[in-house]
Structure 1
Amino acid sequence: MAQAAGGTSATYREVLGATGALLPVLSFFGRLPVAVIQFGSVLLITRTSGSLATGGTVACALALGQVAMGPVVGRLADRRGQRSVVLCCSLLNALAITCYTLGALAGLPTPLLVALGVLAGATVPGIGPLARARG
């Protein structure tokens, strides 16, 4: 294993002892939406708009929302605690994804879908970095 801070060797067993055996499983499930949301977005928008370019554009907007707000979510988690930030972001993200999906199904114009994509991406809770910070 890699050397931990202070020159001591941190084993996986030590990490699990500090965080609990359930953390890696929950972290995996928490990361799935982040991993598939952009691909799912391309498929949804391409299917509903009939344009791969529109699907890619909206998925890119979603990714940019994630990238732009990731550090803000992390800072909020540092200041307010992870639980409250993750719960709040999760609720906001569920609402944003619902609006995004309904907008795609309703055939909204591309600029509105881009705005909904940014909003959906901006509210994704960064489970990966937050889980690593707990270790």
Structure 2
Amino acid sequence: MSQTPDPQYARRRTGGWLMAVGVVALFVSTFTVPEAIHHLARVSVDEGTGLSGRAVVTIVVGAVTLLGGGALAIAGFSWRRSAGEGPSQEDRLLDEQFGDGPVRPYDPDEFRGPRRRDPGAGD
């Protein structure tokens, strides 16, 4: 009783994972970016001081997590949102039972009272 996977579901799931990884990377960047700024400020003030190994790693990790995390969060959100809302199990059962078409045909005059004219009609 295996069902074929819904491509919209897979797209929403992938977009959710991308967004989650992006948010975690942005969270990590809140710790690394201030320290990276501190290291860069210290090097710019003291001319004879060079960057230590920790400073280089912090600067690289801070830049990657900030830029990459933001890009992943935006891409994941867009990807997830573009998939649209998938049909629920109840919708699938109703379509199976009654078909895809509307139950009643649409009648624009149904809710007009007596003596109400169509605003688009030219008299």
Which structure ranks higher in relative contact order (CA pairs < 8 Å, sequence separation ≥ 6)?
A: 2
Same fold (TM over 0.5): no
Rg larger for: 2
Larger helix fraction of residues: 1
Could you tell me the TM-score, scaled by structure 2's length? Answer: 0.34
Could you tell me the TM-score, scaled by structure 1's length? Answer: 0.32
